[in-house]
């Protein structure tokens, strides 16, 4: 029989001490642990959700990896690369790649009777993965692309539609300026809104054959290839492997291939997202310290209140180590109770925000209309383990107070 655990249960679950000092102290300590853990769960869920939402929008517009010409700059007026069937087959059969698609970009000007706006036409093929734009589609439908006929249908953003006063099924002229001005009349079939203003105010999506004809490219020439991966965590390794695989290869037109990840294409954005991790660590450390100190104060009050009992146990031959174990068990009960309430509060608030989007954000600043939530069971489990270990480690020092209590004096202590 574990005597220390038996005595700790008697102390913790004793209902006869309602008039003593310890019940309020115990409630405060338990509340401190509960609130600390709940805030940690909420903070981690928000940051994970925010990073997932923002990075997902960037990836939706440009995929995980882009293969383009080595001489291309960051503008949308690009030099083409030739994409052979053998290159497509090699990429498709790569076990780390889930999908590839060729694209082309061309800057232009959308003009109505009263307004005009600079845009970039992103041309795509029939097999384009529309899942990202379908998720963010608010009106109409995606353009219908076929193998035989060049489609004049386009998808525009709500931002562009508002600026130019356009709606679904409207016809609009787009002008492309090089040595001379060439115009194309497009039909708007759908309007999307991602709240990612840098892209919403720029991209319209249409048939890639417009880009190829405007640039006088061959049918196998594109601005680049978008590569989507099965596992985003392997992004850097796969990008490096593709880079070295293609660095010594050229297309049939003599152009070299250049491989870049979405992180390399958008370094400032991903650096900003990485900085959010520092904010989370600050919150985790502060909440751990607060929870730990509330537990320390609670434990000290319990020890002082049980001074008479400690003296009796010492007089009966109990060692300091054995008595310390009793109070560490009591602390474990308190931390466990606080953690249960912390999990319930934190997860409940996260689910509430996830379902009802109660707390709103300005999408022009944060790129999303409401505080995002993503509950990850692994992170929640790790937070619980860390909270338990840190709380108990912080209580080891105060538990040594029992060694200072002398039986001769403490037995008479009231």
If asked whether residues 225 and 356 sit together in one domain, one would say no
Domain edge (last residue) among 255, 277, 292: 255
If asked whether residues 323 and 398 sit together in one domain, one would say yes
Of 350, 332, 353, residue with least CA distance to 39: 350
Residue 261 lies in a domain: no
If asked whether residues 243 and 303 sit together in one domain, one would say no
| DSSP 8-state class, residue 142 | P
CA-to-CA distance for 238 and 365, rounded, in angstroms?
32
What lies within 8 Å, CB to CB, of 41 at 6+ separation is 342, 343, 346, 347, 350, 380, 383
If asked whether residues 103 and 249 sit together in one domain, one would say yes
If asked whether residues 282 and 133 sit together in one domain, one would say no
Residue 313 lies in a domain: yes
Residue 16 lies in a domain: yes
As beta bridge partners, residue 226 has 66, 101
Q: How many domains does the chain have?
A: 2
Domain edge (last residue) among 229, 255, 281: 255
**Per-residue pLDDT at 72:** 58
Domain hosting residue 46, numbered range: 3-57+269-410
| DSSP 8-state class, residue 168 | T
Structure tokens at 29: 């300590």
If asked whether residues 78 and 198 sit together in one domain, one would say yes
Residue 395 lies in a domain: yes
If asked whether residues 250 and 274 sit together in one domain, one would say no
Residue 148 lies in a domain: yes
210 and 106 Cβ atoms separated by less than 8 Å: yes
Residue 65 lies in a domain: no
**Per-residue pLDDT at 22:** 62
Residue 204 lies in a domain: yes
If asked whether residues 117 and 199 sit together in one domain, one would say yes
**Per-residue pLDDT at 307:** 83
If asked whether residues 16 and 156 sit together in one domain, one would say no
Of 315, 295, 314, residue with least CA distance to 402: 314
If asked whether residues 140 and 174 sit together in one domain, one would say yes
Domain edge (last residue) among 225, 255, 285: 255
Residue 62 lies in a domain: no
**Per-residue pLDDT at 392:** 87
Continuous segment of H or E residues that includes residue 157: strand 153-157
Number of alpha helices (DSSP H) and beta strands (DSSP E) in the chain = 15, 12
If asked whether residues 46 and 76 sit together in one domain, one would say no
If asked whether residues 155 and 133 sit together in one domain, one would say yes
**Per-residue pLDDT at 10:** 83
The series of mean pLDDT values per 10 residues for the chain, 414 residues long, is 83 62 76 93 95 94 92 75 95 96 96 94 95 96 93 97 96 91 96 93 96 95 96 96 92 92 93 90 90 86 84 87 90 91 97 95 89 95 92 86 76 58
């Amino acid at each position: 029989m574990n005597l220390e655990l038996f005595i700790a249960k008697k102390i913790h679950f004793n209902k006869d001490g309602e008039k003593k000092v310890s019940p309020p102290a115990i409630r405060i300590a338990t509340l401190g642990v509960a609130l600390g853990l709940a805030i940690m769960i909420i903070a981690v869920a928000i940051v994970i959700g925010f990073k997932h939402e923002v990075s997902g929008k960037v990836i939706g517009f440009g995929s995980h990896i882009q293969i383009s010409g080595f001489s291309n700059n960051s503008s949308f007026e690009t030099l083409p690369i030739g994409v052979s069937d053998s290159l497509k087959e090699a990429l498709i059969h790569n076990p780390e790649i889930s999908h590839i698609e060729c694209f082309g970009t061309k800057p232009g000007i959308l003009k109505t009777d009263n307004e005009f706006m600079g845009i970039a036409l992103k041309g795509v093929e029939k097999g384009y993965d529309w899942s990202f734009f379908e998720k963010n589609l608010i009106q109409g439908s995606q353009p219908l692309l076929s193998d035989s006929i060049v489609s004049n249908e386009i998808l525009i953003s709500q931002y562009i539609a508002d600026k130019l006063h356009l709606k679904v099924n409207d016809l609009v002229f787009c002008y492309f300026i090089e040595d001379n001005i060439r115009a194309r009349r497009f039909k708007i079939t759908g309007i999307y809104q991602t709240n990612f203003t840098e892209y919403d105010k720029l991209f319209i999506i249409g048939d890639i054959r417009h880009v190829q004809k405007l640039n006088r490219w061959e049918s196998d020439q594109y601005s680049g290839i978008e590569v989507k991966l099965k596992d985003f965590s392997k992004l850097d390794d796969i990008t490096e492997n593709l880079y070295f695989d293609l660095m010594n290869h050229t297309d049939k037109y003599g152009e070299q291939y250049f491989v870049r990840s979405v992180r390399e294409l958008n370094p400032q954005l991903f650096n900003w997202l990485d900085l959010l991790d520092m904010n989370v660590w600050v919150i985790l450390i502060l909440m751990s310290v607060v929870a730990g100190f509330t537990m320390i104060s609670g434990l000290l009050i319990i020890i002082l209140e049980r001074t008479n009992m400690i003296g009796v146990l010492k007089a009966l031959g109990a060692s300091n180590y054995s008595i310390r174990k009793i109070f560490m068990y009591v602390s474990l009960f308190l931390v466990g109770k606080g953690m249960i309430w912390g999990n319930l509060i934190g997860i409940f608030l996260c689910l509430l925000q996830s379902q009802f989007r109660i707390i709103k954000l300005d999408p022009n600043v944060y790129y999303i209309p409401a505080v995002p939530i993503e509950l990850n069971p692994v992170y929640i489990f790790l937070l619980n383990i860390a909270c338990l270990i840190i709380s108990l480690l912080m209580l080891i020092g105060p538990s040594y107070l029992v060694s200072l209590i002398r039986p001769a004096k403490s037995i008479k202590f009231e």
